[in-house]
Amino acid sequence: MAFERYLVLGLLVLHVSLTNTIAVRPNHYSTASLSRSSFPEGFIFGTASASYQFEGAAKEDGKGASIWDTYTHTYPGKITDHSTGDVAVDQYHRYKEDVHLMKKMGLDGYRLSISWSRVLPNGKLSGGVNREGIKYYNNLINELLAKGVKPFVTLFHWDLPQALEDEYGGFLSPQIVHDFRDYAELCFNEFGDRVKNWVTINEPTSYSLSGYEGGSFAPGRCSDRNNCAAGNSSTEPYLVIHHELLAHAAAVEVYRQKYQAKQKGCIGIVLVASWAEPYSNTRQDRNAALRNLDFVFGWLMDPLTNGDYPRSMQSLVGNRLPKFSKEQSNILNGSFDFIGLNYYTTSYAANAPQPNAVNASHTTDMCVNRSNERNGIPIGPKAASDWLYVYPRGIHNILLYTKRKYNNPLIYVTENGIDDASLSLEEAFVDKHRIDYFYHHLKYVNKAIKHGVNVKGYFAWALTDNFEWINGYTFRFGMYYVDYKNGLKRHPKLSAHWFKSFLKK
């Protein structure tokens, strides 16, 4: 059966190569109408990843446990296929192979994250630095640079050291600010001579809401005792974001004070950038769409640009929303050189009544009913994930909104992609829907640039299939198919061929 399967694959590859202009570059996705040359000189094209989703080697070479290591092993039923990231796609051992694929495609950048517990197994400098972990990231960074691929390094992509969760509750405690600053400084000192683009935290809202409101992500806290052993959905998400913002600002402060001038790099943060369309043209629904933006995007962008939370949040959340001191506001205000935006989808927003205070949460506080369809009609084609509906215009809208409201910051689109269900290699190979997704989103990014938005790069999610958090390995976002049953071998899908053709100079 294996021979027959790979024979079919070989015939598909041959067919693609013989009909390249039809199968890989269909006329309506022609590189004549949109290609690398359509974007400004120096525009970065890359792919993005996260340590827990890609690396594996969960217990190798002195790595400490993260909250995701603990979560997947303690609550296997919360992961669709009961899987873990123990091996993931084994990039820890196969990084040279993956970097070669990036070079082969013509990519300019790779957005990776450092596993905090791989370099500091106990989360703190006082617990000792794991030199094997430092060595791995040095090797990866050097391999990227040797192949002409710029590393964009994220310090925290949700895999908090379990030791800090055990000691003081992780981001529930202000103690995290000091430990994150120390960890960030270690990374600046070890890697900053070569890494010129730093991200402090990836999607603070996703970490906060999924981990502390709904409890579906590590550390699995919420108010519902049927789903979570502990937690408070009405207060903890706000507290976690508050400490994430302060930790971010502390890392930026130490970078600017001690490293930026000599290392000549940039530092920013990556935010969720989903868009919301009003469910109707009524004033109430238009206001609901704006509140939705405040509660998801402005929750971070307002403190980063003016030192305080949006007024709508202050009004609706009341004393459950933490307050910044004057000193904290000053440190936060302007604490970025660039903003990374992760855009995947758009939803409708309709006005909703204020919640009962007993059952309050971030979701109810915003007084918005979100949906993916209107009058039975979806906002766009549905992907594999329940939350992902294809709406390319949304990326243009959020980019223009950011330009207008937040004084046109330097922006990188740091994630953008579409998933499908776990398919056989033959089925997954012909991923024309992914080509369609990339093409139309890139078209709208290009349009935003022409409208004056300061976008400097685009990172597709993802180079390869990987561990997709609570969906395990059942959903696939990669341009390369990973054969989980046959040694994690990487196979290019049609989208990989298309992207390579798009990137040709």
Phi, psi (degrees; rounded to nearest 5) at 294: -60, -45
Residue 10 confidence (pLDDT): 36
Instruction: Give the chain's residues under pLDDT 50.
Output: 1-27, 31
Rounded CA-CA distance 500/95 in Å is 20
What is the C-alpha to C-alpha distance for residues 365 and 344, in angstroms, rounded to an integer?
24
What distance in Å separates the CA atoms of residue 220 and residue 323, rounded to the nearest whole number?
Answer: 25
CA–CA separation, 49 and 99 (whole Å): 12
Q: What is the 3-state secondary structure (H, E, C) of 453-491?
A: CCEEEEEECCCECCCCHHHCCCEECCCEEEECCCCCEEE
pLDDT value of position 301 = 98
Give the SS3 label for residue 62.
Answer: coil
Name the β-bridge partners of 482.
Answer: 490
What pLDDT does 387 receive? 97
Which residues are known to be catalytic? 203, 415
User: How far is it, in rounded angstroms, from Cα 423 to Cα 64?
Assistant: 33
